[in-house]
Amino acid sequence: EDEAFLEAFQKRIDAEEKIEPNDPMPGGYRKTLVRQIGQHAHSEIVGMLPEGNWITRAPTLRRKAALLAKVQDEGGHGLYLYAAAETLGVSREQMTEELLSGKAKYSSIFNYPTPSWADIGTIGWLVDGAAIMNQIPLCRCSYGPYARAMIRVCKEESFHQRQGYEIVMTLAKGSPEQKQMAQDSLDRWWWPALMMFGPSDKDSAHSEQSMAWKIKRFTNDELRQQFIDATVPQAEFLGLKVPDPDCRWNKETGHYDHGEIDWDEFWRVVKGGGRMNRDRIADRKKAWDDGAWVREAALAHAEKRRDRMEA
């Protein structure tokens, strides 16, 4: 790729032009997007599992209907995102194979277990809350298909976040046992939710280039701080405490200070060593294998139709 091409591309980016599938683009730009959109799609698909776990045990019909809708939305987001990645020349089969072989990453957050009903509330509140914080700026991503997909996804995520917060609010206002369930769940999910934003800026391999290409609009640490600033007052409103003794309002900076994140835990989970990594991939593999007959039947049907058209 010659200098002049890269310069002309950067000019388009700087002028806030959207890049579309058939436009010339640097190989690195394409590769970064395939990686990020693919990882994002996998996260939505794997993200159905921890909550799917509670659909049959939701405490009321209303809760069950909302949870079912939410998990279905996540499946839809995954398909949307796979379609966005396909515009860059990668196939869904290829991406799925990379997920199942462990080559492609998905969000660390989905490798934690959901032992209590309160976790369904906390996931909506914190995990979807963090996802929105990260995804709103992606609506302005320089790559058109990704940016447009994010608009609808963010609307649905905001419903997910509110349904979660409402579950936690109900528990927090309930019996002492229910309040304890909510607190216990917050204790388990707080730090993993902060890790969702990715490594701190000094260790983030891709941030600088992704910011220059306007794929990312904020750094990992900036978004993490925004999330903390928005969420700590919500915990206070619920009468719950975030499990960080160093978390306090800092008048000078106008932000909440926070304690050190356990990056060893983050990398261990990212590399496959979390509590649920093995189960998650095994579940996805089973779903993919069980669906083989559907793919085969669809293919056979398409071939038959083509033959009939040609005859």
Residues at the contact surface with ligand ACO, assessed by CB under 6 A: 35-36, 39-40, 43-44, 47, 105, 107-108, 131, 134, 195-199, 204-207, 210, 220, 270
* CA 259 distance to own-chain centroid: 24
As measured in angstroms, the least distance from the Cβ of 77 to ligand ACO is 7
User: Between 25 and 81, whose beta carbon lies closer to ligand ACO?
Assistant: 81
Residues 6+ apart with CB under 8 A from 115: none
Phi, psi (rounded to 5 degrees) for 165: -60, -40
As measured in angstroms, the least distance from the Cβ of 159 to ligand ACO is 13
> What's the CA gap between 58 and 204, in Å, rounded?
38
User: Between 145 and 199, whose beta carbon lies closer to ligand ACO?
Assistant: 199
User: Between 134 and 163, whose beta carbon lies closer to ligand ACO?
Assistant: 134
> What's the CA gap between 84 and 78, in Å, rounded?
10
Angle between the N-to-C axes of helices 61-86 and 144-172, in degrees from 0 to 180, rounded to the nearest 10: 160
As measured in angstroms, the least distance from the Cβ of 44 to ligand ACO is 5
* CA 305 distance to own-chain centroid: 38
User: Between 36 and 185, whose beta carbon lies closer to ligand ACO?
Assistant: 36
User: Between 92 and 241, whose beta carbon lies closer to ligand ACO?
Assistant: 92
User: What is the per-residue DSSP string for 108-146?
Assistant: GGGGS---STHHHHHIIIIIIHHHHHHHTGGGG-SBHHH
> What's the CA gap between 56 and 116, in Å, rounded?
13
C-beta of residue 111 within 8 angstroms of C-beta of residue 277: yes
User: Between 75 and 243, whose beta carbon lies closer to ligand ACO?
Assistant: 75
User: Between 172 and 228, whose beta carbon lies closer to ligand ACO?
Assistant: 228
As measured in angstroms, the least distance from the Cβ of 115 to ligand ACO is 20
As measured in angstroms, the least distance from the Cβ of 247 to ligand ACO is 20
User: Between 147 and 172, whose beta carbon lies closer to ligand ACO?
Assistant: 147
Length of the chain counted residue by residue: 311
Angle between the N-to-C axes of helices 292-310 and 277-290, in degrees from 0 to 180, rounded to the nearest 10: 30
As measured in angstroms, the least distance from the Cβ of 40 to ligand ACO is 3
- For Cα atoms 127, 128, 133, give the angle at the middle one, nearest 5 degrees: 100
As measured in angstroms, the least distance from the Cβ of 138 to ligand ACO is 6
- Helix or strand or coil: residue 59? coil
As measured in angstroms, the least distance from the Cβ of 157 to ligand ACO is 7
- Whole-Å CA distances, 128 to 91, 153, 162, 175, 238: 27, 11, 9, 26, 18
